[in-house]
Amino acid sequence: MSPMHKQDKIFVAGHRGMVGSAIWSALESKGYTNLIGRSSRDLDLRDQAAVNEFFQSEKPEFVIDAAARVGGILANDTYPYQFLMENLSIQNNLIQASHESGVTGFIFLGSSCIYPKLAPQPLGEDSLLTGPLEPTNQWYAIAKIAGVKLCESIRRQYGKYYISLMPTNLYGPNDNFDLKTSHVLPAMIRKFHEAKLADHKSVDLWGSGKPMREFLHVDDLADAVVYAMENKLPHDLYNVGTGRDLTIRSLAKLIQEIVGHKGAIHWDMDKPDGTPRKLMDVSRLKESGWTASIGLEDGIRSTYDWFLKNQDMYKQVRLS
């Protein structure tokens, strides 16, 4: 694969989401001028014929797949069919169209949930398919595993530069702060903020707070994506993370302090904890020359600042 050039046509699928918009900004900041994006209204990635027609018309040279149906434990548990079928449809259509149209390089983005629930820590790329998945998000995980294997098979059979990047838990600007569908970190930011406005009322959080999680700022992931496109990496699968984790309870205390909430925290032990720990082994990507640079506290502060400037879109749903 030739390195990506500034004038190459790059299709960022899902360019309006948290990940896609960060990747778009990272590419623009590095001087890439020929970027393509389509909203879901303009291009339904679940529609194979529509995707094929788009590729035949636009002929992108590089594709970054940041499009997916995503959500936290509640959303995954409530809509298992949609999480499995829609993600399979989106990625299969993009991968097949890219392969058939001769795309030079393809990056597939997944999640640390592809690894077994009780895999040895930290989670190495070799842990894939060595044990049962976490039941609460297995639907999303199975779809992403299929995407990883599709990219691996194309690379193996046809020698194309198709590469999968598996980020740990992401957060940052343009995150989803809807309490019904968001992940833990943005949900905590919103809960603590709204509780602060309500005279510092107590905040209810799921589970025991004991599970350990690793968090990566979305701008770091975007930087890793550009790095993977600009450098021909030798493996087909890479973890992307910081290599450091903390308990959910510690995360809650950190966010509570940053937000300025002074009330109590109530842990609902009747709600599931999810996987006990999901620390990523990031040595493979580090050895290839890339490491994360944004610290968790700084990242949360900047994310909270972004939320404060954009919270009007979330005001219609208040804490009860």
Catalytic site positions:
140
Q: Judge contact between 197 and 319, C-beta under 8 A.
A: no
Within 8 A by CB and 6+ apart from 3, the residues are 230, 231, 232
DSSP assignment of 248-298: HHHHHHHHHHHHT--S-EEEETTS----SB--B--HHHHHTT------HHH
Within a 10 A sphere around the Cβ of 173, how many other Cβ atoms?
18
Indicate the annotated binding residues for substrate.
Answer: 191, 206, 213, 273
Indicate the annotated binding residues for NADP(+).
Answer: 14-20, 109-112, 144, 167-170, 183
Indicate the annotated binding residues.
Answer: 14-20, 109-112, 144, 167-170, 183, 191, 206, 213, 273
Within a 10 A sphere around the Cβ of 213, how many other Cβ atoms?
21
Q: Which of 169, 170, 286 is nearest to 218 (CA)?
A: 170
DSSP assignment of 184-245: HHHHHHHHHHHHHHTTS--EEEES-S--EE-EEEHHHHHHHHHHHHHS--S-SEEEES-S--
Computed on alpha carbons and rounded to an integer, the radius of gyration of the chain in Å comes to: 19
Within a 10 A sphere around the Cβ of 123, how many other Cβ atoms?
25
